[in-house]
Amino acid sequence: MQTNESDLYYTDPDDSNSVQSKETFDSGIANVDVHDTSIPQKTTEEVLVANTTEADATSTSAPQTTLEEISDSNRSDTEYNTPLLLMPATEECDTTGSPDVQPGQDPQVSAKKKSWLKNIFRELLIYAAILLVLFLGINLVLQNSIIVSVSMNPTLSENDRILIYKLAYKFGHEPQRGDIIVFTPPEHVHSDSDYIKRIIGLPGEIVEIKNGYVHIHKPDGSTITLEEPYIAEHPNYTYTSQPIPADSYFVMGDNRNHSSDSHTGWTVTRDSIVGRAFWTVWPFSKFGAASNYNLPK
């Protein structure tokens, strides 16, 4: 086994030709440290006396603190220097910073308040949806109309309000003689408003007005004379119609002498009928079912 020379020999820095072994070099250093007579040595007794003198001097110059004072000091430090302890958040506490939880407020009360508000909001949405459905349904089935003329006096007067049943003739039910209907008048009448009249003549019939009465000539050759207790007065004119076309109707106002109706030469097609008068809403004196009259067929 080979050994590095640097581990065994040391060179004297003052003499380039001198080489010492490591053990000799270390021994020399130890001898200098321990036995150097140029450094004054103190005995053990002298060291103990010096230490005792220094301790007495320190205790004499420093103020003395009793056990009681130390105890009070520790208590004061504990009272004023104790760090603030933060309580951990629990499931009942609202840690989201919600404004619903106020300082000192019970989280359970806040949770109940939120639940109550949610229930109220849900109920309002349900009621709003129901009202919307009802509104759409009512507008699909019924129409609110205001009477703007005197042609249906005395049955209906100006400013009376009625409900029109728009599905009256949508499911196979045929218009009947005596029904009060709302319809869109023919184009040649030049009216932007719907009309309201009573059905007098049916398809295939001929209507004759003379001597203040309405006579119906039926396709089978028979004739009927209408008894009309609802009219304001008997008509003071004479008129005979052409045979009424299929799916068309002869209409007249109850105020016979003040009504623009079929006695001026036109009829109402079925597809132009908006609906049948269903209910009188206003005035309260007329509140109830509309005055549709069952006339002979």
Under 8 Å between Cβ of 279 and 164: no
Residue reference for tokens 């104790």: 82
Both tokens of residue 114?
């939120």
In the chain, the amino acid numbered 40 is: P
| Distance of alpha carbon 225 from the chain centroid | 62
218 is catalytic: no
Per annotation, catalytic residue among 197, 241, 248, 262: 197
Q: Is 197 annotated in the active site? A: yes
**What percent helix, strand, coil does the chain show, rounded to 5?**
35, 20, 45
Q: pLDDT digit string (tens) for 250-285?
A: 999 999 999 999 999 999 999 999 999 999 999 999
Average pLDDT over residues 29-49: 43
**Stretch 185-212: mean pLDDT, rounded?**
94
pLDDT tens digits for range 125-178: 999 999 998 888 888 899 999 999 999 999 999 999 999 999 999 888 899 999
State both tokens at 4: 């590095």
Torsion of CA 113, 119, 121, 127, to 10 degrees: -150
Domain spans, the chain: 107-143, 147-289
Measure the CA–CA gap between 143 and 137, rounded to whole angstroms.
11
Catalytic residue among 151, 241, 248, 259: 151
Residues in the chain, overall count: 297
- DSSP codes of every residue in 212-248: TEEEEE-TTS-EEE---TT-SS---S-EEPPPPPTTE
Residue type, 152: M
The CATH superfamily of 147-289 is Umud Fragment, subunit A (2.10.109.10)
User: Across the strands, what pairs with 97?
Assistant: none
Q: Specify the pLDDT at position 164.
A: 95
Distance in angstroms (rounded) separating the CA atoms of residues 201 and 246: 11
